[in-house]
């Protein structure tokens, strides 16, 4: 029995672990939880594990999915809870921190994240130079198939690249996972690093190594807090009907594309999906380990589904008028 955290009402026992990814190249696709899960599922469909893809997906349609993924975050940083961006914070000299400066804050250190979810304050001046993933644009040209040269007009276009900020060597992906699936999940990530993640893997993007050792953060982030009144999400998340709905959140509309062999099948586009972003906070006095669901009918291919689960970290905020 969980003596640290009796409020958690999920009956299954899962561990919260951190998997460290060390990039070997630039990336085209962001490290969003739904994209990561879809990439792993594609490997399963290609025979990476001794399980059929339909059976694998059905595991996530049940009330006891084998694992839930977070987004990938640079180094030891985690998303700032949205409610914290709305707070009036005093500096040491008694003056208030500018709201615009606080609103721009997207990531905080692991230790500061723990302070915030316990109702504490942090010194945001420490984050003046902290950045999220760095982005760059590269110009490409379209090949004229008749001349095998570049087109004279309208042949240039831009692509976006992503890479880690200077001084940060790895990406942290958190996973809420059953014991018997930990090694399987790390193997799938290792295989994905060799296969390539996201767009333009044939051009050298999206390759990485995975540290063999993982960190178990179950007690530190899930069980330690007493009497939580809310949860903070670490993933791009699509709630189901009975999930908590009163909260402070940000939304992103995603216009996804299919990967793997589906990208070559004529119509690789998904329907637009509204996701709740990492850092969103929802009120609940009965927090669960995770929320969300699997989405069906997201494109013209009925067997394709979308991952909408999120890891939920218990938190204790002053939920009165900010």
Q: Which pLDDT tens digit goes with each residue over 75-119?
A: 999 999 999 887 765 555 556 655 566 777 889 999 999 999 998
Domain contains 167: yes
Domain contains 171: yes
Indicate the pLDDT class of residue 143, thresholds 50, 70 and 90. low
Domain contains 193: yes
Domain that holds residue 76: 15-315
Domain contains 322: no
Q: Report the range of poorest mean pLDDT among 11-20, 44-53, 107-116, 261-270.
A: 261-270
pTM for the whole structure: 0.86
User: Using an 8 Å Cβ cutoff, are 69 and 36 in contact?
Assistant: yes
Residue range 212-227: average pLDDT? 87
pLDDT of res. 7: 46
Domain contains 55: yes
Q: Which residue reads 């025979």 in tokens?
A: 47
pLDDT of res. 210: 95
- Residue 55 CA, chain-centre distance (Å), reads 24
Residue range 195-204: average pLDDT? 84
Domain count for the chain:
1
- Is the pLDDT higher at 137 or at 168? 168
pLDDT of res. 4: 43
Domain contains 93: yes
């Amino acid at each position: 029995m969980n003596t640290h955290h009796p409020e958690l009402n999920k009956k299954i026992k899962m561990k919260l672990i951190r998997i460290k990814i060390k990039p070997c190249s630039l990336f085209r696709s962001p490290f969003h939880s739904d994209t990561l899960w879809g990439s792993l599922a594609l490997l399963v469909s290609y025979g990476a594990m001794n399980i059929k893809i339909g059976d694998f997906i059905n595991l996530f349609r049940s009330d006891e999915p084998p694992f839930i993924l977070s987004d990938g975050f640079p180094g030891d940083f985690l998303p700032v809870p949205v409610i914290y961006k709305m707070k009036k914070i005093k500096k040491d000299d008694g003056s208030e921190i500018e709201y615009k400066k606080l609103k721009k804050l997207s990531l905080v250190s692991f230790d500061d994240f723990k302070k915030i979810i316990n109702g504490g304050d942090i010194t945001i001046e420490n984050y003046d130079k902290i950045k999220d993933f760095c982005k760059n644009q590269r110009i490409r040209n379209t090949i004229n198939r008749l001349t095998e040269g570049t087109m004279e007009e309208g042949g240039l276009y831009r692509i976006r690249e992503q890479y880690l900020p200077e001084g940060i060597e790895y990406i942290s992906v958190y996973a809420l996972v059953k014991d018997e699936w930990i090694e399987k999940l790390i193997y799938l990530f290792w295989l994905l690093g060799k296969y390539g993640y996201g767009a333009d893997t044939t051009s050298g993007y999206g390759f990485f190594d995975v540290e063999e050792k993982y960190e178990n953060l179950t007690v530190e982030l899930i069980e330690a807090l007493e009497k939580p009144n809310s949860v903070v999400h670490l993933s791009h998340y699509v709630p189901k009907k009975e999930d908590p709905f009163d909260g402070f959140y940000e939304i992103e509309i995603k216009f996804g594309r299919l990967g793997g062999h589906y990208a070559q099948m004529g119509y690789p586009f998904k329907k637009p999906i509204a996701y709740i972003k990492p850092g969103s906070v929802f009120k609940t006095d009965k927090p669960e380990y995770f929320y969300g669901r699997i989405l069906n009918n997201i494109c013209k291919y009925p067997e394709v589904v979308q991952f909408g689960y999120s890891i939920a970290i218990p938190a204790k905020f002053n939920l009165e008028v900010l």
